Structure 1
Amino acid sequence: MMREGAPKTIYRKDYTEPDFLISDVELAFEIADGNTRVTSSLRIQRNGSHKRSLVLDGEGLGLISVSVDGGKLDEGAFKYSGGKLTIDAVPDDFAFGAVVDIQPETNTSLEGLYRSRTMYCTQCEAEGYRKITFGLDRPDVLATYTVTLSADKASCPVLLSNGNEMSRTDLADGR
Structure 2
Amino acid sequence: MATITLGGNPTETNGELPKVGTTAPDFKLAATDLTQISLEDYKGKRIVMNIFPSVDTGVCAASVRQFNKEASTLEDIAVLCISRDLPFAQARFCGAEGLDNVTTLSDFKDGSFGKEYGLEIADGAFAGLHSRVVIVLDADHKIIYSEQVPEIGQEPDYEAALSSLN
Q: TM over 0.5: same fold?
A: no
More helix by percentage: 2
More strand by percentage: 1
TM-score of the two chains, using structure 2 as the length reference: 0.28
TM-score of the two chains, using structure 1 as the length reference: 0.27
Structure number with greater CO (CA < 8 Å, separation at least 6) is 2
